[in-house]
A and B are shown apart, each in its own frame.
Chain A
Amino acid sequence: MPSLGTSFGRGAGTTALWDLANADCLVVMGSNMAENHPVAFRFLLEAKQRGATLIHVDPRFTRTTALCDIHAPIRAGSDIAFLGGLIHHMLEHDLWWRDFAMAYTNIADIIEEGYEDPETTGGVFSGFNVAEGDYASDTWQYKGKKVPSSIAEHHAESRESARDSDSMSKGPPPKDPTLRHPNCVYQILRRHFVRYTPDMVERITGCPRETFLRVAEVLARNSGPERTGTFCYAVGWTHHTTGVQIIRACAILQGLLGNIGRPGGGIQALRGHSSIQGSTDIPTLYNMLPTYLPQPDAFKNHATLKDFLEEETPATGWWHNFPKYMVSLLKAWYGSRATPVNDWGYGWVPKLTGDLSQLPMTLAMADGVVKGQFIFGQNPAVGAVNSELVEAGLAKLDWLVVRDFAMLETADFWQKGRRVQRGEVTPAQIPTEVFFLPAAMPGEKDGSFTNTSRLVQWHDKVLEPAGDSRSDLWFVYHLGRRLRELYAGSREARDQGLLSLTWDYPVRGKHAEPDAEAVLREINGYEVASGKQLGDYQTLKEDGSTACGGWMYCGVYPGEGDNRARSRVPDGPGGNGSHLEWTWAWPSNRRTLYNRCSADPAGKPWSERKKMVWWDEAKAEWTGTDNPDFVKTKRPDMRPDWSKHPTGMEALGGDDPFIMEADGKCQLFVPTGLRDGPLPTHYEPVESPVRNLLYPQQHNPTAKLWERPGNEYNPPEDPRFPYVFTTFRLTELHCGGIPSRVSPHTAELQPEAFVEVPTELARELGIEHLGWTTLSTMRGEIEVRAMVTDRLRPLQVAGRTIYQLGMPWVFGWDGYARGAPANALLAIYGDANTSIHTTKAITCNIRPGRQQRWQRRPHAAE
């Protein structure tokens, strides 16, 4: 989440889930939380019992809506217009919390004179290169400064060098505390959002003006010293070409209202799966090393470790410690083979050339680049956009390894896939050799889940996996072991990284299962000479004396036999509610990030009702109900001595709560680190039934578009595709569906694919409830039964009626509950910062009746 990363410093949700119960107002937007995060949702209900107001902003009326006080319906893909309207409302009615925002955000900072806003340029920011579809961020900087971005998720996508960040250690950024300077952030914000009025919000989003104003009033009323509000979001925000900027809009709003780092105040990023947070912390993403260290890039000045560290280490803020974390990681990976002479093995770390994320690699697979693929815990033949192009790509592979609990579409596409069903190809024409390997289920293996609030939760194996099923750890460990044996003796330079890895995890049992706790101990880190576990990342060094597989996790296993992720001690009655002994949260077991914000600049709680962390003058340290997310002994009145050109944390004062940022402030305006602008701006989705009412620029100009045969896009306002189409999950069928579709008990709860059709549209088109319909886009057609419902209401957008359709994406041809994959309708294009796909707002057509099978892609030019 580069949005949270650039805004606050870390790409993670800011609160503990149970802290949601402390909020006075909760806005669920971009999430059907009651159905997809039911465990977390109970804390909203607890808040409601305490008097909180619950708001659901969503295109659909769902089980979440049913339990909320207010439903604000919006058109899918118009979120920034809605949130921008809230920002406009808070600024123009002076409802923002001045004391908080002036102290802890960059609202008074002055931006370079060359900055130009989309308001004056037709919808793009200054620095836009039309030919490349990309920005230079020079004019977005603090005046006279070069601001490095916080190193967070997808930092590799940013292009800025930290080499120039010395300016940040030569004095504070220029500010105007009167907020009158035309280029101070406050004035820029006011100009930027000037046309996001309630009327405009209604015209763009379809949300009635009165409903919007009610949301604004409730949110404002429940913010300030005595009250707090939290936003909860999920992939309903992220799966857009503007997804990062939607979250940015929320960050601005919460920064203005003081709803960060305080009890019941924050942004909760609801992760889409059990350990998605963990899979970005210890990443499965191609562009990050563990715990958000950037992956070196062949086309940046990263040739040597010295170059890499100089290029990526900011002069000021906590990330100035980056070299300690990088060298410690290399020591964990390469052990005694990592020495000062060989740059601690840095040369063995793969260097990026291009975007190797899922969408581009799907296209590259279809082009024949990829020879083989491992699939763990995914089902892209159902779950990935343009699923037929995925099938075509899989059919180009030499080999494919799929590990899962049960047979799934990605493993039998060659036999039962949609292209085979239509007779376009036969199994004999697909050369891919598929290996389907049974995987152990969670209770059949040791390991951990890192949940949405950064809690690392250990779980033990309770029974042996059946038959040949094995854990993923077993598979990866033994695959690595066998590969190392095959390459043993190789003198090729490219093989030395593999051969130099520390790959010595102890194994046990008849299947030689690796010890998962040994992996966690390595991630935690240890002193190289003694092998003694480290207690905190503040002990890490860049001289090779410490090894650590993921610096943010340092402290989860601080001593022999002391696995803090195993701890399960809740606060009892009368406890402070932080549950600090209930497992362990990164970093340093802090439950609420940026909790220095819960005290005023002098270190006193803003209010008794909302106190969390404060300065204890007698003990000369920060204390409270949570572990302080701050330097424990740094006085609130400490100020940098600029005459000494301070670096690292010496450049941040005792009232700079956002320690991962180069200036310690919440970035309402982001000078560096985002590829699509320093502020969120409303653009229409790439596929939209309406023109952009705010700017001539129709869609995000930096979106990664990869249009090609088989991946054509629906043009804007195309009468062939007049309806908005959005996809969603179901409580009853988990994620890609297979674990629950193969089980008759859960399959019968949602036995067949369906599309939700508004009653009015069904009447207009002659679609009957449970009758067949055919949906189409430029990618193709699918047939599915209709769920005619009032859950989706027609909206008045830009002066006309817009209908929205919704369809669960979890169905395929395997299991008991079957149906067409919704993703066959979707296209491959990505957002500029993360390359994430769009699943929440496209356009389509629908007609009653079944698909005419000879017209798979009736709209294509072929």
Chain B
Amino acid sequence: MPRSEDFALSARQALDDILTRKPEKSSHEFSKATQCLCALRDHWIAECGGAAASPAARSRLDQVNAVISVLIAGHFPLGKIPWAEIERSRAIIAEME
């Protein structure tokens, strides 16, 4: 059974790939990172499912949801791709490893 750290590692590595290449248009890197983040999110959803969900787990879930929103802004941008926000997102996920 993968642990949250494993999901976070995969997501962080996928974000690293994006930040290394910085694609200006839609690319498979964004898709892959999104899938990794969704796996991490689903892990935290499962953790938060019980009545005894910890505030820390809920906080993690909120953070991952926010990062997914930022990734959507990169994958399907309305304006410039928010690279600085994606960098910050990467740092947030790295803290979860």
Contacts and interface: CB of A to CB of B under 8 A. Distances in A.
Interface of A: 131-133, 156-157, 159, 287, 297-300, 352-356, 360, 363-364, 367-369, 704-708
B28 A708 contact: yes
A300 B79 contact: yes
Contacts of B35: 367-368
Contact of B26 (A300, A356, A704): A704
B38 A368 contact: yes
A486 to B, nearest CB: 15
Contacts of A131: 24
A35 B39 CA distance: 48
B70 to A, nearest CB: 6
30 contacts: A132-B24, A132-B25, A133-B24, A133-B25, A156-B78, A159-B79, A287-B78, A298-B69, A298-B73, A299-B79, A299-B82, A299-B85, A352-B78, A353-B70, A353-B72, A353-B73, A353-B78, A354-B77, A354-B78, A356-B72, A356-B76, A360-B75, A364-B76, A367-B35, A368-B34, A368-B42, A369-B38, A369-B68, A705-B26, A708-B28
A708 B72 CA distance: 16
Contacts of B74: 354
A430 B5 CA distance: 28
Given A297-B79, A356-B72, 6 more contacts: A299-B73, A300-B79, A364-B34, A368-B38, A369-B34, A707-B26
Interface of B: 24-26, 28, 31, 34-35, 38-39, 42, 68-70, 72-80, 82, 85
A701 to B, nearest CB: 11
Interface centre among A298, A354, A356 (most CB of B within 10 A): A354
A355 B73 CA distance: 7
B81 to A, nearest CB: 8
Contacts of A298: 69, 73
A360 B69 CA distance: 13
A354 B34 contact: no
Nearest to A355: B76
B76 A360 contact: yes
A367 B38 contact: yes
B25 to A, nearest CB: 6
A368 B42 CA distance: 10
Contacts of B80: 132, 299
A705 B75 CA distance: 11
A386 to B, nearest CB: 15
Contacts of A352: 78
Contacts of A156: 78
Contacts of B31: 363, 367, 708
Interface of B: prevailing SS: helix
Contacts of B77: 354-355
A551 to B, nearest CB: 24
Chain A CB within 10 Å — which of B24, B35, B68, B72 has the most?
Answer: B72
Given A353-B69, A363-B31, A705 B25 contact: yes
Contacts of A353: 69-70, 72-73, 78
Contacts of B69: 298, 353-354
A354 B68 CA distance: 11
Nearest to B33: A367
A287 B25 CA distance: 21
Closest 7 CB pairs of A and B: A355-B76, A368-B38, A360-B76, A354-B72, A353-B73, A354-B73, A354-B76
B47 to A, nearest CB: 16
Contacts of A368: 34-35, 38-39, 42
A578 B64 CA distance: 56
B52 to A, nearest CB: 18
A157 B78 contact: yes
A360 B42 CA distance: 21
Contacts of B76: 354-356, 360, 364, 704
Nearest to B39: A368
A300 B74 CA distance: 15
Nearest to A297: B78
Contacts of A297: 78-79
Contacts of A705: 25-26
A706 B74 CA distance: 13
A705 to B, nearest CB: 7
Contacts of A133: 24-25
B85 to A, nearest CB: 8
A355 B78 contact: yes
A294 to B, nearest CB: 11
A89 B68 CA distance: 51
B24 to A, nearest CB: 4
B4 to A, nearest CB: 17
Nearest to A351: B69
B62 to A, nearest CB: 8
Contacts of A287: 78
A298 B70 CA distance: 10
Interface-centre pick from B24, B28, B34, B76 (highest chain A CB count, 10 A): B76
Nearest to A835: B76
Contacts of A369: 34, 38, 68, 72
A159 B68 CA distance: 23
A299 B78 contact: yes
Contacts of B68: 369
A131 to B, nearest CB: 4
B22 to A, nearest CB: 10
A431 to B, nearest CB: 12
A592 B38 CA distance: 50
B63 to A, nearest CB: 13
A841 B75 CA distance: 26
A684 to B, nearest CB: 19
A708 B38 CA distance: 19
A705 B77 CA distance: 12
A620 to B, nearest CB: 46
Given A157-B78, A352-B78, A353-B72, A367 B26 contact: no
B82 to A, nearest CB: 5
